[in-house]
Copies of this chain bind each other. A is one copy, B any other.
Amino acid sequence: MPSDLERAMETLIIVFHRYASKASGNPSTLNRKELKMLMETELSSFLKSQKDPAAVDRIMRDLDSNGDGEVNFEEFVSLVVGLSIACEQLYQFKQRQQAGGVKKQ
């Protein structure tokens, strides 16, 4: 039986390919429309405060490190990493706050 961590890695691959194969075009990369769908559905709690309609274009440009107009798995993972690191910093802050190391605002 896979461990929690192995299942989490499998989820990254499954979620990426679920959206990469939605629209026509390359079924192994996310185009703008697929990335928008993925972010609206899978990252809604992170992005619900994001009202800027140009946000997806900006994120697409930032992620598309090889500049081909598509986001491949490696580029997608860098988004997941960035969000996870930000969440982990918040988690550590909350832990310190609970332990009394940081005063509540």
Bound together, the chains give a CA A73 to CA B80 distance in angstroms of 13
- Contacts A3-B41, A5-B42 hold; do A28 and B84 have CB atoms under 8 A apart? no
How many residues of chain A are within 8 Å of chain B by beta carbon? 36
Bound together, the chains give a CA A77 to CA B74 distance in angstroms of 13
Bound together, the chains give a CA A8 to CA B2 distance in angstroms of 14
Main SS of the interface on chain A? helix
Bound together, the chains give a CA A73 to CA B83 distance in angstroms of 12
**CB of A87 within 8 Å of the partner chain:** yes
Q: Using a CB–CB distance below 8 Å, which chain A residues touch chain B?
A: 2-17, 28, 38, 41-46, 73-74, 77, 80-81, 83-85, 87-88, 91-92
